[in-house]
Amino acid sequence: MNTVLENLKRYQDLLLRIRQLERELTTYPESVERRGRELKQHQIAVARAEEQLAENSGQKDRKEEYLILCKDNLEKFEQDLMEVTNQKEYSAVLKEIDNTKREIQGTEAVIITLMESIKQLETDYEQLNASSEQLENAYNEAVAGFEDTNREKIKEKEKLEKEKRRLEKSIPASHMRKFNQIAAKRSGIAVSNVSEECCTACNMKIRPQMMNNMQKNPDKLFICDNCQRILVFIEPDGDDS
């Protein structure tokens, strides 16, 4: 049969472990976070490649439309050339023809450059897309692994919460109030073990008289003079069940 103080100590251990489990259940480990970041960066690169590809394709379409216009104009100027009536008109039309031909050449060169860059972008894009799946799988696997581990932790947490509720009923309300008051001020550590006549939380030696009293009154609350925590003395030769 545990003393009330032993139950209080156990209660504290449960609270701390439950708190730790809650933290672990809601925080992705770095291995998952890293894969998430890799995937996100990759998705940004894919989106950027898509954008660049769309932009170059649009440019190429516009240049091709312009090329058709230039060729139509050339045809028109060549027609005009046959209808000129004097040297002045002839020179003017010839100049237009030269200019248009130059414009056609220039536009064709730009289109070829754009086509080459589109081809390269398409290759890059395909490669990016191929590794997309890999990265996505790696991330999903990491998340699934995390959730697998969590299942164990959820089970443990449920078990501990059950035990916690049971313990709460066995601890007197006045002890519980004192415990909560101290725990709130001392990051959850309200109960300290006594070992070799010292408080294990602050290492202060316990007065011999207090040691005596503690042994005589195992269910009474004794507070460490130094750190103000509840002292729990578990006899070294007692059975610790």
CA distance linking residue 50 with residue 213, whole number of Å: 78
Residue among 138, 223, 227, 234 that touches Zn ion (CB under 5 A): 227
Smallest separation (angstroms) from Zn ion to the CB of 194: 9
Annotate 62-80 with b (16+ C-beta within 10 A) or e (fewer).
ebeeebeebeebbeebeeb
Name the token pair of 181: 């008051």
Smallest separation (angstroms) from Zn ion to the CB of 157: 30
| Candidate ranges 41-49, 77-85, 154-162, 219-227; the one touching Zn ion (CB under 5 A) | 219-227
Look-up: residue for tokens 């950027």?
48
β-strand pairing of 198-199 with 191-195: antiparallel
Question: Looking at beta carbons only, is 121 or 230 nearer to Zn ion?
Answer: 230
Q: Residue 108 forms beta bridges with which residues?
A: none
Residue among 93, 224, 230, 232 that touches Zn ion (CB under 5 A): 224
Question: Looking at beta carbons only, is 97 or 189 nearer to Zn ion?
Answer: 189
Residue 229, burial from CB neighbour count under 10 angstroms (0-12, 13-18, 19+)? buried
CA distance linking residue 88 with residue 86, whole number of Å: 6
Residue type, 214: M
Smallest separation (angstroms) from Zn ion to the CB of 199: 3
Residue among 16, 124, 226, 234 that touches Zn ion (CB under 5 A): 226
Query: In angstroms, how far is the first alpha carbon of the chain from the final one?
Result: 8
Can residue 199 be called a binding residue for Zn ion (CB under 5 A)? Answer: yes
| Candidate ranges 11-19, 103-111, 213-221, 222-230; the one touching Zn ion (CB under 5 A) | 222-230
Smallest separation (angstroms) from Zn ion to the CB of 36: 43
| Candidate ranges 15-23, 30-38, 179-187, 198-206; the one touching Zn ion (CB under 5 A) | 198-206
Minimal CA–CA distance to 180: which of 229, 216, 214, 219?
229
Residue among 47, 54, 68, 202 that touches Zn ion (CB under 5 A): 202
Can residue 182 be called a binding residue for Zn ion (CB under 5 A)? Answer: no
What count of other Cβ atoms lies within 10 Å of the Cβ of residue 188? 13
CA distance linking residue 224 with residue 214, whole number of Å: 12
Smallest separation (angstroms) from Zn ion to the CB of 200: 8
Smallest separation (angstroms) from Zn ion to the CB of 237: 24
Question: Looking at beta carbons only, is 69 or 202 nearer to Zn ion?
Answer: 202
Can residue 201 be called a binding residue for Zn ion (CB under 5 A)? Answer: yes
Question: Looking at beta carbons only, is 149 or 195 nearer to Zn ion?
Answer: 195
What count of other Cβ atoms lies within 10 Å of the Cβ of residue 134? 11
CA distance linking residue 69 with residue 87, whole number of Å: 27
Chain contacts with Zn ion (rule: CB under 5 A): 199, 201-202, 204, 224, 226-227
